Amino acid sequence: MNNLHVATPEIFLLVAVCTVLVVDLFQTDKRRVVTYWLSQATLVITLALCFGQLGDEPVTAFNGAYTMDSMSATLKCWILGIALLGFLYSRDYIGERDIQNGEYYVLGLFGVGGMMIMVSANNMLSIYLGLELLALSLYAMVALYRTSSRAAEAAMKYFVLGALASGMLLYGMSMVYGATGSLDLATINNIIASAVEGGSDSDESVYRSLGARFGLTFIIVGVAFKLGAVPFHMWLPDVYEGAPTSVTLYIATAPKIAAFAMVIRLLVDALPTLHSDWQQMLAILAALSLIVGNLVAIAQSNIKRMLAYSTISHVGFLLLGIVAGTAEGYSAAMFYAVTYAFTTLAAFGVLLAISANGYEADELVSLSGLARRKPLLAMVMMLSLISLAGVPPLVGFYAKLSVLKAVIGADFLWLAVVGVIMSVIGAFYYLRAIKLMYFDEPIADTVEVSETVGTDTTKDNEAIVTSAPSLSGPIAVRGDVGLGLAINGAAVILFGIFPGLIMAACIRAFT
Amino acid sequence: MTFQLFVFYVLAAILVFAAGRVITVRNPVYAALFLVLAFFTSAGIWMLLEAEFLSITLVLVYVGAVMVLFLFVVMMLDLNIAPLREGFMQYLPVGILVGLIMVIEMIFLITQRYFKADNYPIPPPSDAGYSNTEALGLLLYSEYLYQFEIAAVILLVAIVAAIALTMRKRPETRYQKPAEQINVKKEDRLRVVSMNSEKD
């Protein structure tokens, strides 16, 4: 209990969120300018605290429940940075809709807290509690858009399926606990390793390794649900489509990094001796995700659904790195998780920028002629989509390359072949969106596809948007949002040309 | 038979009887009351297991709060239970089958070589001064402090989410605004019309 200070980022974040929560009570401004800036300040300071921990020696705290190692420090910085940009992009979108702004930021911050707890968990119980903190915030954020019935439906689906997945995960954890008698990841590893070594000689070692294998199966199911790997992906497209775009952005980016960390903690830190068991399960999940994600995405006309299936296929790639089961594979998967998160962030950021001015850009056609309406947005979107498709010299290419290299190194040639073929097929739907932006005319204003924006109906009904937002005219983008998007797009190129900047940290995390 | 064993059998018999009545009585209020009895008896069994904190919590939380609330709801809603009971006999064979399979599975598991009850020796009884509550409290506030705090944060999120999702001004609800009512002027309510007096 003498090294509480290593948890300073988490402690600061949670204290600051409670402050923001109280300050928010006294705000009458509907767009919550003060809450917004306080939330951003919280994220910046927490980011600075995490940044200061980079390169420190690994330490555990709270009797081994919390660990600060190279992986957790790096991933926390990325999570915080992405949440920061995410709030920036979301600000106008939620401001002009009937979403409770104050609660949105507070719940978002709580979710960040949950992710940080997951990333630096060193104990089954901390992993689970961090996951629940994140999940609970996400369910509520989806449901916050109360005037939209689609959001309510998505929240319901997300909640029911998410609760089921949490139950599965907890069931698996309880079995592992039953088999080993410990919640601590390192202790679990030691006990199972000696049990597996014992083979079938003694009854004790048999029931220990048997129980752990049972538990492992449920843990994999739970983890696959949370990641959205096929065949546990059903919630993902519906939630992405139904949730307000700002929340979709939130769900699609940072939580993937946290989920990756959870997989590493559970499978690599706690159950590495059962590697041959989980390797096969993950290989099947990865192959199915790659196939289903890429093929079904082609058929989507809704861009949020398309990106949802694209997420599924990228989860397949991410799992490839873990399947490899080598330090090289894990660092490739970590690189993939991080780069995927900030590339998708840019894509959703552009969607949010188009969606401002009361228009809901969720159909593919709403991208038509974007290059003529706002070249910056089209440029960032194009960079993000090409990177997701895996074209050099963007960052997505290097991510795919390193994952494939690791998986071939582990003698899973067939998986690499599936991955390559599927990413070629997948390139089609990314290129289609780019064609819409650059080679098609903006849709004429008479083709009205927007839905009425939910407005504050309590006091003034005349506030309902009377003039339909223009779909062909130029788009106004706030200066800070434009700057954020430009930095985000530049990062996609920069880290593509110099992947070593991120890769070095990823390799350090697994040595 | 020791006295402890005798107490256990009495409590177990009451528990089985109460649990059976919960699903067989027709009146939902009686069912809820039998559930209270079942909770109370299991609290007694936990007390025998030297888990006095859990046993007291069970009585306080479930009997004291949850079941009272539940009874309240049952009485307020004035449920018509007849439709719920329809087809009880129809589903009975399936229910019995499922129950039987579960019993057989449990027997298999308990008599298996690896999961035999003999593998798990009876823990030695603690001495008279041992306090289960203190032991739990010590663990919770020292070894599991981190998890305890996170659980508290999760509860806070639940409260924030519940309030954010339910508290709102409904457009169809009419509100009184006393300030406006007091400040009302004669002109707002009364219109003086000058008109010619009607003849004949």
Tokens of A192: 């199972």
Low-confidence winner among A51-65, A264-278, B4-18, B71-85 (lowest mean pLDDT): B71-85
CA geometry: angle at A224 spanning A220 and A226, to 5°?
Answer: 120
A215-233 pLDDT, tens digit per residue, is 999 999 999 999 999 889 9
Q: Say how many CB pairs under 8 Å bridge A and B.
A: 79
Q: What is the DSSP string of B58-127?
A: IIIIIIIIIHHHHHHHHHHHT---HHHHTTHHHHHHHHHHHHHHHHHHHHHHHHSTTT-GGGSPPPPPPP
Please indicate if any CB of chain A lies within 8 Å of the CB of B106: no
Confidence of residue A168 (pLDDT cuts 50, 70, 90): very high
User: Rounded CA gap, A148 and A452, in Å?
Assistant: 10
Please indicate if any CB of chain A lies within 8 Å of the CB of B91: no
A78-111 pLDDT, tens digit per residue, is 999 999 999 999 998 888 887 877 899 999 999 9
Q: What SS3 state is found at A210? A: helix
The whole-number pLDDT of residue B85 equals 65
Please indicate if any CB of chain A lies within 8 Å of the CB of B175: no
Average pLDDT over every residue of A390-417: 92
B21-61 pLDDT, tens digit per residue, is 988 887 888 888 999 999 999 999 999 888 889 999 999 99
From the CA atom positions of chain B, what is the Rg in Å?
Answer: 30
Quick check: B146 and A113 CB within 8 A? no
Minimal C-alpha gap between B157 and chain A (Å): 7
The whole-angstrom distance between residue A53's C-alpha and the CA centroid of its chain comes to 23
The whole-number pLDDT of residue B116 equals 67
Q: What SS3 state is found at B26? A: coil
Q: What residues in chain B have per-residue pLDDT under 50?
A: none
The whole-number pLDDT of residue A98 equals 75
Which residue in chain A is spatially nearest to B150 when comparing CA positions? A129
- What range defines the domain where residue A463 resides? 2-508
Average pLDDT over every residue of A258-279: 92
Q: What SS3 state is found at A385? A: helix
- Give residue for tokens 């006999």: B89
A151-164 pLDDT, tens digit per residue, is 999 999 999 999 99
Quick check: A130 and B150 CB within 8 A? yes
| A106 contact residues in B (CB cutoff 8 A) | 160
Q: How many domains does chain A have?
A: 1
